Amino acid sequence: MAEKMLQFVRLAQQTPDKREAAARRTDFNEIYSRFEPARAAEQASRCSQCGVPFCQVHCPLNNNIPDWLKLTAEGRMEEAYEVASATNTFPEICGRVCPQDRLCEGNCVIEKGFDSVTIGSVEKHIVETAFENGWVKPPTPRVELAQSVAIIGAGPAGLAAAERLRVRGYQVHVYDRYDRVGGLMIYGIPNFKLEKDVVLRRWKQYEAGGIQFHLNMEIGRDITLAHLREKHDAVFIATGVYKARDIAIPGSELPGVVAALDYLTASNRDNLGDRVPAFEDGSLNARGKHVVVIGGGDTAMDCVRTAVRQGAASVACLYRRDRANMPGSMREVNNAEEEGVRFVWLSAPESFEGAGKVAGVRATRMHLGLPDATGRQQVEPIAGSSFIQKADLAIKALGFDPEDLPRAFGEEALAVSRWGTLKVDHKTMMTAMEGVFAGGDIVRGASLVVWGIRDGRDAAEQMHLYIQHKAAMALAAE
């Protein structure tokens, strides 16, 4: 047990042991081990307990990080879990997939000169300890309410809202078009970052708490939004964004040019034991191929590291800016480089080359020019600098856009922004349709799991206020 905090002056930063690159290239297991209890307490004791905790300020959930670090340092693990779970529906998932280097750890006040507290790894340790000791309970209410809610989408936003509303006593029904609960946490994020059992155990726990899941159920195809509005007292749309952004260059139609989510979904389904014809026939499998991934975000990092594990002959990542301007997590970039991925910085694709099948990506060298109106340096092509990067499989990881939800749901009354995301009143999170709320990526655009959790929790509170107000008005009218 740590006697006091502020131990950063004598204890160096340590992360949990990371598997050697040669070993982790061969499987999809998580690459970081768990902290031993004594090591977790030591690292937690490095926290300075500052008066203005920037780690908490820069966390989308405003997690009480200094408090649960102190409790961990003191060995009070059950209390640490209670504090961590009070503001975060899935702390075990955030501890694994959040870009802590851009959020809590990146804003730790002891970062300069001493290195930040390893917040994410301690968070993971807290919750895994809680699961092992049976402290994590299904979301059961004290009083059952007659009102019911419909949640469309079983990703982080939808599940966070479901948990909060169930605890309040509502009859919660979650509708999802996939066959498993979790959304991109299951089919988008690879196992080496988030093992699927971590998500699936929450699904079973939520079922035990009385949340009802309706899977393989697509709104607009199997059931209408109008029907859900009639059946339930409020509806929350949390479908996420799945439409891949494309790049309008010659050769995009060539076999072997694929979208990132199609590729990652095939890999994740294979790891889950599903039969995936496109994986088995090699069209969505990198084994033995020269792979080129286009993009610089976290999805691109997921693709390059998946290709390595599938046994690709080579893996290159083309990004039109330099390392300093990479939008993805630097930790993921470093892990990818350790595993043998080659980054081709300041390179923009011009076309996909090949006769009947992709054989390479023609790209041009770029240089950083003057800053634009946002302050970010513009990228400009260097004349005569074209080159071809060999590719048997080219993966476009350029981000995601919303689908045309008003048309898909058969409800033209759903208003959308100029970006195609759903418009909501940002105070109430209600859409243009009475009693229909929305949050997560379908409102803010492709974002982080932690922002989805935040939106789901906030939406649950607004839905509760709406339902109770409606009930009070009905009672007053009698």
Ranges 67-76, 84-93, 244-253: which has the least confidence: 244-253
- Confidence at 443, pLDDT banded by 50, 70, 90: very high
Structure-derived torsion over alpha carbons of residues 376, 382, 383, 389, reported in degrees to the nearest 10: -120
Q: Which of 155, 165, 166, 192 is nearest to 33 (CA)?
A: 192
Quickly list H helices, 116-217: 119-132, 156-167, 184-187, 196-208
Is pLDDT of 369 > 50? yes
Stretch 224-235: mean pLDDT: 96
So what's the pLDDT on residue 1? Answer: 43
Does residue 115 surpass a pLDDT of 90? no
Write the CA distances from 54 to 63, 94, 120, 329, integer angstroms: 11, 18, 15, 19
Q: Which of 46-60, 201-215, 370-384 has the lowest mean pLDDT?
A: 370-384
Look at residue 368 and give its three-state secondary structure.
strand
The answer to whether residue 125 scores a pLDDT higher than 80 is yes
CB 220 within 8 A of CB 58: no
Name the residue with higher pLDDT: 51 or 250: 250
Model confidence band, residue 287 (pLDDT cutoffs 50, 70, 90): very high
Please tell me the predicted confidence (pLDDT) of residue 325.
87
- pLDDT (average), residues 443-464: 96
Q: Check: CATH 3.50.50.60 for 148-241+402-477?
A: yes
Residue 294 contacts residue 396 (beta carbons within 8 Å): yes
Q: How far apart are CA 455 and CA 21, in angstroms?
A: 36
Contact 20, 110 (CB under 8 A): no
pLDDT score recorded for residue 328: 82
pLDDT digits (tens, 9 = 90+) for 321-349: 999 888 888 889 999 999 999 999 999 99
**Are 187 and 242 contacting, i.e. CB atoms less than 8 angstroms apart?**
no
Would you say residue 464 has pLDDT above 90?
Answer: yes
pLDDT of residue 385: 97
Res 373: pLDDT: 81
Per-chain mean pLDDT for the chain: 94
Q: Tell me the pairing of strands 148-152 and 171-175.
A: parallel
Q: Are the folds of 7-132 and 251-400 the same?
A: no
Domain positions in the chain are 7-132, 148-241+402-477, 251-400
CATH number of 7-132: 1.10.1060.10
Q: Which of 5-14, 23-32, 67-76, 91-100 has the lowest mean pLDDT?
A: 5-14
Task: Write the burial class of residue 427 (CB in 10 Å: 0-12 exposed, 13-18 middle, 19+ buried).
Answer: exposed
Q: What percent of the chain has pLDDT over 70?
A: 99
Other Cβ atoms less than 10 A from the Cβ of 131: the count is 14
In the block, tokens 């670090």 appear at 69
Among 31-35, 76-80, 128-132, 159-163, the range scoring the smallest mean pLDDT is 31-35
Given a cut of 50, whether residue 2 has pLDDT beyond it is: no
All residues at 6 or more sequence positions from 156 whose CB lies less than 8 Å from its CB, including other chains: 89, 90, 93, 183, 185, 440, 449, 452, 453, 456
Q: What would be the CATH architecture of the domain defined by 251-400?
A: 3-Layer(bba) Sandwich (3.50)
pLDDT of residue 338: 97
